[in-house]
Structure 1
Amino acid sequence: MSLYLLHCAPDPKALTLWATRHRLLSPDGDAGYAIHALLSAAFGESAPKPFRYLGAKQGLLAYTDQSSEALRQQTALVTPDVEQALGLDALAVRAFPQTWQQDQLLGFEVRVRPVLRAKDGRERDVFLHAVESSTATGSTTASESREAVYADWLERQLSLQGAASVVRGGMDAFRLSRAIRRGAGKHSSERQVRTVTGPDAVFKGVLQVRDGDAFNRLLQRGIGRHRAFGFGMLLLKPVRSC
């Protein structure tokens, strides 16, 4: 499967207006669900994900298996408000590398939501879960920092199917953010909008590729949960620039 890197420049005012009109802007101003909805409106089932919105200056990045020609064909009939909100007039797409050497070093940055699904179906912050579990068992995990717990979680995510491992790195930013989500229902208009609060962390560092094919699958899938809403996109750069 081919992999492409997409970039566009959403218009902040048009994006906020569209999100507000559709009640998809969180109390914190997080645009993750709004961009998810806009990408779905523009590209349908081929909506690029995972994606990362880096703000007005750097725009929106996303991975997709669709070529530039295919993406432009899909947006030919998009409504003007969606086109303006996403900045599709500046859409750029290029092929992304798919061949990785074993033990290759790469600089990385990733925004993640380190949560797990609890037995009751709700999401739990992995740090709070670790603290509660260690308190119950009398282990020492409760003394570990939030960053250490998240770093361990990230290492496990990267090492799925032997894809990669962290050589060095750390948490560059953290906050608790409130995100918009919709409940169950056949149609979006039937699904109740709700606000979900959870951990929102950015990690930067250097990783080492362990298995090229598994690493490609990891890039295409993304890391952790909420990958369709602005989390989990693994951004890469040459290690010499780290």
Structure 2
Amino acid sequence: MTALHLISLPLDLGLFRRWAAHRKLIGDEGAALHHLLGETFGKSALQPFRLMVAPHAVNATLYAYARTDHASLVQTAKETGMPDALAVCDPARLDSKAMPQTWTKGRRLAFDLRARPVKRLMISAGVFPKGAEVDAFLLEAIRRHPDGPSPDDKIDRETVYRNWLAERMSEAAEVTQTRIVRFERSAAIRNGLRREGPDVTFHGELVIRDGDALAERLARGVGRHAAYGYGMLLLRPSGR
């Protein structure tokens, strides 16, 4: 398996937003970053990724996983990056570390994850046709009550999203604790179409079941839209 690297890259938010506006990539920060990173470091080279911004900050740090090493990423940026893009994400400021090649079964770790808990329909459901992407919470409500909401059955949004996460992590790890620290609905612009969907940040702990599966989950991301700022599993020391 190709080694995985954790990348960090400081960004000036003012420069980034001006770059995005100039490219007419406004209204979806994740889509703008997708284009910026692809043009600078190569298609899909840095994904999944996560932009971390402190409240009222003018600078941010972008974290990403890459199967390309530090030297190769910098070389690609210097050889092919456009000057306006390089002003936003200067490759000289890029830092990285190699992730472990193996993960120990039974190891407990904490995690931080921003995800978009949606499901792609294999068959139609309610007003949504086959192939539609639907909020997992809304889909659960439709499946349990196809004729409309029931006052006797309150569906808990956090429980639905926690189950969604547990399903996607089940092969790699058991999610032993989860809490939602942030929830909002945000826009995603794909192929010129604007759609709103759930934008959730989870904090929790996991116990590794399969080290290879966990490594693959880190590299591929959790859930959909991993190329647009969702799905990056950031690991932390366990609270225990």
Residues 142 and 148 of structure 2 are in contact (CA less than 8 Å); yes or no, is this contact kept in structure 1? no
- SS for the counterpart of 2:104 is coil
**What's 2:70 paired with?**
68
1:151-176, Cα deviation, whole Å (9 max, x unpaired): 000000011xx210111121111000
**What's 2:118 paired with?**
115
CA distance in 1 between partners of 2:181 and 2:172 (Å): 23
CA distance in 1 between partners of 2:99 and 2:15 (Å): 29
Pair 1:142–1:238, CA change in 2 (3 A): same
CA distance in 1 between partners of 2:153 and 2:72 (Å): 50
- SS for the counterpart of 2:175 is strand
Query: Superposition RMSD on alpha carbons, in Å?
Result: 2.0
Deviation at 1:137, TM superposition (A): 8.2
**What's 1:6 paired with?**
7
Matches within 5 A, 1:39-188: 39-55=37-53, 56-77=58-79, 78-118=81-121, 119=123, 120=129, 121-136=131-146, 142-159=153-170, 162-182=171-191
Deviation at 1:14, TM superposition (A): 1.2
Q: 1:114 is matched by which residue type in structure 2?
A: P
**What's 1:186 paired with?**
none
Residues 6 and 64 of structure 1 are in contact (CA less than 8 Å); yes or no, is this contact kept in structure 2? yes
- SS for the counterpart of 1:157 is helix
Q: 2:30 is matched by which residue type in structure 1?
A: G
- SS for the counterpart of 2:227 is helix
Deviation at 1:86, TM superposition (A): 2.2
CA distance in 2 between partners of 1:37 and 1:47 (Å): 11
CA distance in 2 between partners of 1:21 and 1:173 (Å): 30
1:44-92, Cα deviation, whole Å (9 max, x unpaired): 2352100001125541000001111111111113122111222433111
CA distance in 2 between partners of 1:139 and 1:175 (Å): 22
Residues 83 and 89 of structure 1 are in contact (CA less than 8 Å); yes or no, is this contact kept in structure 2? no
Residues 41 and 74 of structure 2 are in contact (CA less than 8 Å); yes or no, is this contact kept in structure 1? no
CA distance in 2 between partners of 1:89 and 1:50 (Å): 21
Residues 108 and 237 of structure 1 are in contact (CA less than 8 Å); yes or no, is this contact kept in structure 2? yes
Residues 74 and 91 of structure 2 are in contact (CA less than 8 Å); yes or no, is this contact kept in structure 1? no
1:100-136, Cα deviation, whole Å (9 max, x unpaired): 1111000101001011112432211010010011013
Q: 2:21 is matched by which residue type in structure 1?
A: T
**What's 2:200 paired with?**
201
Greater Cα offset, 49-58 or 127-136: 49-58
CA distance in 2 between partners of 1:229 and 1:36 (Å): 6
Pair 1:13–1:179, CA change in 2 (3 A): same
Pair 1:228–1:75, CA change in 2 (3 A): same
Number of residue pairs matched by the alignment: 226
Residues 165 and 210 of structure 1 are in contact (CA less than 8 Å); yes or no, is this contact kept in structure 2? yes
CA distance in 2 between partners of 1:238 and 1:222 (Å): 20
CA distance in 2 between partners of 1:198 and 1:23 (Å): 22
- SS for the counterpart of 1:206 is strand
Displaced runs of 4 or more, over 3 A: 137-142
Greater fraction of residues in helix: 1
Deviation at 1:179, TM superposition (A): 2.1
Residues 12 and 59 of structure 2 are in contact (CA less than 8 Å); yes or no, is this contact kept in structure 1? no
Deviation at 1:10, TM superposition (A): 1.4
Deviation at 1:96, TM superposition (A): 1.2
Pair 1:128–1:46, CA change in 2 (3 A): closer
Q: 2:139 is matched by which residue type in structure 1?
A: H
